[in-house]
Amino acid sequence: MKRTMLYLSLLAVSCSVSAAKYPVLTESSPEKAGFNVERLNQMDRWISQQVDVGYPSVNLLIIKDNQIVYRKAWGAAKKYDGSVLMEQPVKATTGTLYDLASNTKMYATNFALQKLMSEGKLHPDDRIAKYIPGFADSPNDT
């Protein structure tokens, strides 16, 4: 019993310590955060136009100083049922989850390359063969 209480106490402490590391987001307004509301309205109209001409959907969240100052969704979360265009598409909401599919590989690779460049370990003008010798197709590639 004492051992169980000890483990539960340690678990509670570790949960509270890890929770304290992350800031809690609170709701605010663009005006309070110093945003130009007219510019946000212009952006809103522009995004609406893009959706009207065929862009499937947009989900935007703006956070400043741990405060959510703007969140909105445009377009449809689902327009097709298989290959059939739906009569009533499912509207996108700020809670819509998007399948990123293979995009995560691109984002992870981009992040890793930028990190290596910022550390000076990789240079954009270097040939790939410098890092991966198997990529050298001809003597000029090395």
Q: In the prediction, which pLDDT does 99 show?
A: 78
CA distance 71 to 10: 38
Q: Which stretch of DSSP H or E encloses residue 74?
A: strand 67-81
Entry pTM: 0.57
CA distance 122 to 125: 9
Q: Spell out the domain ranges in the chain.
A: 21-97, 99-142
Average pLDDT for consecutive 10-residue bins of the chain (142 residues)?
60 60 88 93 96 93 93 94 93 90 83 91 86 77 56
